[in-house]
Amino acid sequence: MKFKPLMKPAGARTVLIGSAIALAFTGFGIFSYSIFRPNSQPSSAQISAPPSNETDAVSALGRLEPEGGVIKVSAPTASTAGFGGSRVERVLVKEGAKVKANQPLAVLDTYQTLLASAMQAEAQVKEAESRLAQVQVGAKQGDINAQRATVLRAQAELPKAEAEYFKVDAEYQKAKRDYDRFTTLFKEGAVNELEVSNRKLTLDTTEKQRQQAAQAVQQAQLELEGARQTLSSVAEVRPTDVQQAQASVQVAMANFQRSKADLDKAIVRAPVDGQVLKIHSDPGEVVGNDGVLDLGRTNQMYVVAEVDENSINKVRAGQRAKITGFAFPGEMMGTVDRVGLQIRKNEVLNTDPVDRTDTRVVEVKIRLDNSGPVAGLTNLQVKVAIEP
């Protein structure tokens, strides 16, 4: 008996295709239900996604600077020193040198002039002190006699000077009359111009001699008066003389102290212990706005970090910070020392062109644990991560 299939081949294919379509619709329905049902549960990937961490480190750019910043050591201003623009005569240190507070760093060109003034003021002090001592002990009889002799000599010199003056004055008057007469004759054509010139030369010569003789008379009068006053002062010691001599000493001492202070201004000194970072004024140059040199206390270095104003609430004194930079290997550690009180625009710029350049920041100073590796890298740009 020959086997007969229940369906024909064409019918069987139709049944298989229909079954496949039914299964496909069933699977799509189950998938759609699982996706769009209102009370669907999140996937395992969604469950394991962590929330944002608000305690991450605060990142910022910063720069290195010595403790207290870079100190611009300058010279006294013109109004202070009493001279024009200060010019450097000698620089006594080199860049990188370690200096102590009050150590001379440079000498200005006013030093020699001020030194001479100070020496003169010191001599005046000694002279005033000597005069005071002489007044206090009183003059010896020999000194009085010597001063009387000085008065007598001055009295004798004055008549001589006066006689010389009268003589020269007579010559001058005669020369003046001759010149006036020859000038009139020249106008009338009676004499030539050469004769008038000779009379004028004689007049000028005698006039100068007359002036010199008058000065000699005046000098003789002053010397006589001075000799008489000195004789009077040495012949009698009065309390007022002692007081006046003491006042003279005090005035001389005050002038000497002022001269020493002015002299000290001609020497540029280190205000603190530190290291010379850069010399701005060489010998012969006028001290400019940058001063003579830059000084820094590089034994202790700081990082000045510019923290964004939106993150400053996460920063406080005592937090630890990591510092990295291209100029030193690895990372350095430090502690937040002070948080600034003012918001301003940033000064340290990132080299990334897509970053903002007008960020509003707060300066945070970080004290480095170890300053040695970066003591010579003032103003180096660094990256800072302030730990929570």
**293-308 vs 360-368, strand pairing mode:** antiparallel
Same-domain status, 324 and 359: yes
Cβ atoms of 135 and 237 within 8 Å: the answer is: yes
310 lies in a domain? yes
- Using only C-alpha atoms, what is the Rg of the chain? 50
End residue of a domain, out of 262, 279, 314:
262
358: pLDDT confidence band, cut at 50, 70 and 90?
low
228 lies in a domain? yes
Cβ atoms of 245 and 131 within 8 Å: the answer is: yes
| pLDDT confidence of residue 349 | 61
Higher-confidence residue of 151 and 33: namely: 151
Query: What does the H/E/C string look like for 106-170?
Result: EEECCHHHHHHHHHHHHHHHHHHHHHHHHHHHCCCHHHHHHHHHHHHHHHHHHHHHHHHHHHHHH
Task: Give the domain CATH number at 247.
Answer: 1.10.287.620
User: ∠39-42-48 over CA atoms, to 5°?
Assistant: 155
Query: What does the H/E/C string look like for 55-112?
Result: CCCEEEEEEEEEEEEEEEECCCCHHHHCCCCCEEEEECCCCCCEECCCCEEEEECCHH
- For residue range 131-155, what is the model confidence (pLDDT) as tens digits? 888 777 766 666 777 878 888 888 8
Of 15-29, 138-152, 196-210, the poorest mean pLDDT is in 15-29
368 lies in a domain? yes
Same-domain status, 136 and 236: yes
Higher-confidence residue of 34 and 133: namely: 133
For residue 75, count other CB atoms closer than 10 A to its CB.
Answer: 23
Same-domain status, 321 and 358: yes
pTM of the model: 0.54
Same-domain status, 122 and 253: yes
| pLDDT confidence of residue 131 | 85
Average model confidence (pLDDT) across the chain: 82
Token pair in block for residue 300: 């202790």
| pLDDT confidence of residue 283 | 93
Same-domain status, 198 and 299: no
Question: What is the amino acid identity at position 381?
Answer: Q
Same-domain status, 236 and 338: no
Token pair in block for residue 325: 């930079």
Q: Mean pLDDT, to the nearest integer, of 171-195?
A: 90
Between 193-235 and 141-188, two packed helices, what is the crossing angle to 10 degrees? Answer: 160
For residue 116, pLDDT over 70 is answered with yes
Q: Mean pLDDT, to the nearest integer, of 30-35?
A: 39
Question: Strand, coil or helix: what is 242?
Answer: helix
End residue of a domain, out of 262, 277, 312:
262
Question: Strand, coil or helix: what is 347?
Answer: coil
102: left (phi over 0), alpha (psi -120 to 50) or beta: left
59 lies in a domain? no
Same-domain status, 161 and 247: yes
| pLDDT confidence of residue 325 | 94
* Domain limits for position 183: 115-262
End residue of a domain, out of 262, 278, 312:
262
80: pLDDT confidence band, cut at 50, 70 and 90?
very low
- For residue range 50-61, what is the model confidence (pLDDT) as tens digits? 344 445 899 999
**Helix H or strand E segment including 174:** helix 141-188
Residue closest to 76 by CA, chosen among 276, 282, 263, 256: 263
Residue closest to 287 by CA, chosen among 72, 52, 17: 72
- For residue range 251-307, what is the model confidence (pLDDT) as tens digits? 999 999 999 999 999 999 999 999 999 999 999 999 988 999 999 999 999 999 999
- For residue range 304-319, what is the model confidence (pLDDT) as tens digits? 999 999 999 999 999 9
